[in-house]
Structure 1
């Protein structure tokens, strides 16, 4: 269980943090929380793809 790696750990955490902060400020928490999670997951997926491409070449 200790060797299990999460796919989207850091980006999603940052997305939740920033999405919550912006959502509270603007008054539309649901929208910004959703956008924050989506952007964070996209950042992590892009980072993983870059790491994968470096291993191939």
Structure 2
């Protein structure tokens, strides 16, 4: 395995972690403001953040393979 392959493997998964880390608190705040239920908002934020994180990882992998 070359050094460039090792670097690309280390970068995988950061999008999902970033999506969860940002989606959860943003969703919790939106849940408190919109639904008056922090758990419901956190769940929605987690799901949206996870989807965006997976999309970010897929996009970065596609750019890396070209």
TM-score (norm 2): 0.66
TM-score (norm 1): 0.75
Q: Which runs of 5+ in 1 are unaligned?
A: none
Q: Which runs of 5+ in 2 are unaligned?
A: 1-5, 32-40
Query: Larger Cα Rg: Structure 1 or Structure 2?
Result: 2
Displaced runs of 4 or more, over 4 A: 5-8
Q: Which structure has greater helix proportion? A: 2
RMSD, matched Cα: 1.8
